[in-house]
Amino acid sequence: MRVARLCRTLPIALLLIGISACAPLTRTVGQPQQAPNRVQAGERLLTSGQPAMTELRALQPGQFAMVIDLAPREHGLSSADEARILAARRIAYIAIPVDLEQPREMDFELFSASLNAAHQPVWIHCQRNQRASMFVFLYRVIELHAEPEEAYEKVTEVWVPTAEWVRFANRILSRRQIAFRL
Task: Give every strand in the sheet of 39-40, ordered side by side.
Answer: 39-40, 45-48, 122-125, 66-69, 92-95
Predicted pLDDT of residue 12? 35
Choose between 1 and 154: higher pLDDT: 154
Domain extents in the chain: 33-175
Q: 58-99, pLDDT tens digit by residue?
A: 999 889 999 999 999 775 556 778 999 999 999 999 999 999
Q: Please enumerate, as own/partner, the contacts of 52-56 that have beta carbons within 8 Å and a separation of 24 or more.
A: 53/77, 53/81, 53/85, 56/82, 56/85, 56/86, 56/89
CATH architecture of the domain with residue range 33-175: Alpha-Beta Complex (3.90)
Predicted pLDDT of residue 9? 37
C-alpha to C-alpha distance for 28 and 60, rounded to whole angstroms: 20
Q: 99-131, pLDDT tens digit by residue?
A: 999 999 999 999 999 999 998 999 999 999 999
pTM, 2 dp: 0.81
